[in-house]
Structure 1
Amino acid sequence: MFVHRIDEDLELRLIEVGDAERIFELTDRHRSNLRTWLPWVDHTESKEDTKSAIRNFLHGYAENQSMTVVILFQDVIVGMASYNKLDWTNKIAYIGYWLAEDYQGRGIMTKTVKSLTTHAFSSMGMNKVDIRAASENRASCAIPERLGFTQEGVLRDQEWVNDHFVDHVVYGMLRKEWEN
């Protein structure tokens, strides 16, 4: 099982079905903020919906196509991050993430994404890490910008989020850039 301690307060751990109650509680408590950017929020109406999603995440992990982790801050789940897709042919890891509002602004997500990026290059042999965020989601865009990712473009009307399309900003980091 994947477990990675980032520092004394922060740890990443492969998601488990037993995490469903806490993840649903976070989703429900922060629903109004999360639904602005994440289309799955409105379809997550119960702990059972969350369990079903976790089973799908674990299937993707077993098939070596993705990896979803919980973010633990001081041993409490505060969000999630993932390699949404692992493209082994082209050696690209696609990272996604969300964090409960009351834990934002503490550097948690920057450290998480930095750790996942390093892991993708050093342990998985990836050549590129790709992050896509809604162009209006400044907090989410700030993470790859802070870590020195290159903005590679904007995908217009890329995702239907609840009642409208949103553009995605595409950020990329190459292994040779990260190592420098």
Structure 2
Amino acid sequence: MDILKIDEELSLRQIELADAKEVFELTDHSRDYLKEWLPWLDTTLQVKDTKEFIKICVKGAEENKSLNTVILFKGEIVGVAGFNSINKANNTAYIGYWLGKDYQGNGIMTRVVKALTNYAFAELHLNKVEIWAAVENKKSRNIPERLHFVEEGCIRSAEWLYDHYIDSVVYGMLASEWNG
């Protein structure tokens, strides 16, 4: 994926090393906000940590095992979204996302997830897209619900979040169900 234009103000571009400083600064500015639901903030303390993450993303894309993008809103990086994992054996992709705190409430992530789901089915020819969200993370859960993903169940103690386990709701969309 080079650039996936979603609309006049929003597009996705595969993440690259040159994005490290800007992505780190966005992460650092949103640290307290993001830390409520994301487990990696304590290990992302310098630009070099973001560079290491991006290297993993680039390698995953080269191996067709993942595809992570920066979210560009009016030309500015405002978050990261993509397929944290692509399982070719089962034709399934797992979408993950985060958005800087100052960009909430603009419908950005719903448009991004819709575009990624379209891409998964039309370009990658996958059968299923999954999104996992913490049970209590209403903002994150609203996205698949708005896009009519099916709530498939709850995974108890799905993730360790700093000092406790959290349960996750699994949402799924099949290619045959998608009306994107």
Q: For this structure pair, what is the TM-score category when the shorter chain's length is used for normalisation? A: over 0.9
TM score, norm. by length of structure 1: 0.98
Contact between 1:158 and 1:166, CA under 8 Å: does it hold in 2? yes
- 1:52-131 alignment, distance < 5 Å: 52-131=52-131
Any runs of at least 4 consecutive aligned residues in structure 1 with deviations exceeding 2 A, and if so which?
none
- Letter of the structure 2 residue corresponding to residue 108 of structure 1: I
Secondary structure of 1:4's partner? strand
Distance, in Å, in 2 between the alignment partners of 1:108 and 1:179 is 19
Aligned counterpart, 1:5: 5
Q: CA deviation at 1:179?
A: 3.8
Q: Which runs of 5+ in 2 are unaligned?
A: none
Aligned counterpart, 1:140: 140
Q: Which runs of 5+ in 1 are unaligned?
A: none
- Letter of the structure 1 residue corresponding to residue 178 of structure 2: W
Distance, in Å, in 1 between the alignment partners of 2:135 and 2:2 is 31
Contact between 1:3 and 1:12, CA under 8 Å: does it hold in 2? yes
Aligned counterpart, 1:153: 153
Secondary structure of 2:37's partner? coil
TM score, norm. by length of structure 2: 0.98
User: Per-residue displacement from partner, 1:119-170 (whole Å, max 9, x unpaired)?
Assistant: 1001111000000011111100000000000000000110001111111100
Contact between 1:35 and 1:162, CA under 8 Å: does it hold in 2? no
User: Per-residue displacement from partner, 1:71-105 (whole Å, max 9, x unpaired)?
Assistant: 00000000000101101111101000000111111
Secondary structure of 1:151's partner? strand
2:168 corresponds to 1:168: yes
- RMSD value over aligned CA atoms? 0.9
Secondary structure of 1:118's partner? helix
Identity among equivalent pairs (%): 52
2:46 corresponds to 1:46: yes
